[in-house]
């Protein structure tokens, strides 16, 4: 039997409240002998919060069924190219909350943000000043900067993974073929410097033709992400950084669908005239291009 209008938890009779609390205690007790203390803590905390949610909103059986159906559809649409559960975590802010918990402030270390569902292992290596586009369409953008630790010491041989969408808002993995484009990795030099050619980021919607898109539409929320370029930076004895940089002036900075924007990560992508000399002498006389500087500070590895 279901209810069309849930009863506010504040007016639930005491006897009924005790019945519901007894269910929670029974489930918590079932994990009392878990041999892994961390797993026991996580599972019992999860049960407490889930049961509290059900009681607080007075979840109906129809709503519970629809929730199960939603998660089932989310699983069915997920494959090796699309991770709908990551999208769900992102739009609920769980991804950013997890990032916040696991990346405590450390001096002036660069802030982290969401990983996203489009990272691919084994991207091609480029040398300094190389081009990550590999044929992807978009306005050329020169990206440069340094990698240092929180004491200001340059970090040589730091691995910098970069990936982004093309000018149409699509990542290479969304095209359904075997292309690898707009992604690569580069290593810093002996003074911690790096540089490469990429594409000027453009805003795009997260995939919204599945269950998560339906959820956003039902909630009256936009699927749009602010324009950004992904970075993952790693070096021995330093905390791996997963972050983006965002384009100052982008219309979606204050309504990014996955809550990934941090003010410290908003950068000036400066427009350059078509006849302006490129830093590496590249010929760009037929179109405008941009340049941006992103100096990265890595926190100590606390593990």
Q: Is residue 232 part of a domain?
A: yes
Same domain, 155 and 24: no
- Give the Cα separation of 229 and 294 in Å (integer): 11
Q: H or E stretch including 54?
A: helix 37-57
Same domain, 14 and 135: no
Same domain, 38 and 100: no
In the prediction, which pLDDT does 7 show?
57
Count structural domains, the chain.
2
Spell out a b/e string for 200-212, using b for 16 or more CB atoms within 10 Å of the CB, else e.
Answer: bbbbbebbbebbb
In the prediction, which pLDDT does 142 show?
98
In the prediction, which pLDDT does 84 show?
94
Question: Is residue 127 within 8 Å of 187, Cβ to Cβ?
Answer: no
In the prediction, which pLDDT does 8 show?
61
- Give the Cα separation of 196 and 278 in Å (integer): 12
Same domain, 224 and 124: yes
Range of the domain at 195: 87-298
Look up residue 262 and give its two tokens: 């941090």
For residue 214, how many other CB atoms are within 10 A of its CB?
13
In 3D space, the residue among 59, 203, 61, 235 whose CA is nearest the CA of residue 138 turns out to be 203
In the prediction, which pLDDT does 285 show?
72
Q: Is residue 150 part of a domain?
A: yes
Q: Is residue 27 part of a domain?
A: yes
Same domain, 187 and 39: no
Same domain, 37 and 96: no
Q: Is residue 17 part of a domain?
A: yes
Same domain, 109 and 229: yes
Q: Is residue 141 part of a domain?
A: yes
Look up residue 244 and give its two tokens: 């983006």
Same domain, 95 and 16: no
In the prediction, which pLDDT does 3 show?
47
Q: Is residue 4 part of a domain?
A: no
Same domain, 15 and 127: no
Same domain, 51 and 138: no
Q: Is residue 21 part of a domain?
A: yes
10-residue stretch averages of pLDDT, the chain, 303 residues long: 53 94 98 98 98 97 98 95 92 96 94 92 96 96 98 98 97 90 98 98 95 98 98 97 98 97 98 91 86 98 81
The CATH number of whichever domain residue 189 belongs to comes to 2.60.130.10
Q: Is residue 72 part of a domain?
A: no
In the prediction, which pLDDT does 275 show?
87
Instruction: Indicate whether this model's pTM tops 0.85.
Output: yes
Same domain, 102 and 169: yes
Same domain, 182 and 283: yes
């Amino acid at each position: 039997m279901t209810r069309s209008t849930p009863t506010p938890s504040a007016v639930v009779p005491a006897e009924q409240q005790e019945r519901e609390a007894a269910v929670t205690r029974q489930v918590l007790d079932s994990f009392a002998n878990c041999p892994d203390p961390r797993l026991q803590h996580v599972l019992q905390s999860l049960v407490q919060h889930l049961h509290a949610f059900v009681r607080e909103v007075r979840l109906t059986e129809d709503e519970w069924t629809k929730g199960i159906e939603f998660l089932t559809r989310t699983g069915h649409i997920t494959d090796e190219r699309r991770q709908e559960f990551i999208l769900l975590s992102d739009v609920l802010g769980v991804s950013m909350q997890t990032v916040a918990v696991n990346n405590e402030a450390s001096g002036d270390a660069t802030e982290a943000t969401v990983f996203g569902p489009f990272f691919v292992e084994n991207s091609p290596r480029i040398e300094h000043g190389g081009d990550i586009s590999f044929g992807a369409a978009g306005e050329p953008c020169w990206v440069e900067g340094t990698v240092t630790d929180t004491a200001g010491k340059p970090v040589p041989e730091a691995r910098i993974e970069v990936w982004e969408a093309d000018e149409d808002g699509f990542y290479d993995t969304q095209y359904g073929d075997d292309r690898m484009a707009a992604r690569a990795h580069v290593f810093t030099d002996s003074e911690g410097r790096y540089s490469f050619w990429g594409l000027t980021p453009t805003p795009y919607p997260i995939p919204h033709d599945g269950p998560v898109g339906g959820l956003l539409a039902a909630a009256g929320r936009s699927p749009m992400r602010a324009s950004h370029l992904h970075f993952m930076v790693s070096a021995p004895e330093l905390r791996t950084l997963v972050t983006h940089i965002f384009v100052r002036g982008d219309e979606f900075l204050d309504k990014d669908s996955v809550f990934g924007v941090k003010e410290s990560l908003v950068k000036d992508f400066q427009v350059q005239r078509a006849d302006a000399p490129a830093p590496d002498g590249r010929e760009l006389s037929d179109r405008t291009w941009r340049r941006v500087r992103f100096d990265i500070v890595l926190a100590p590895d606390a593990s």
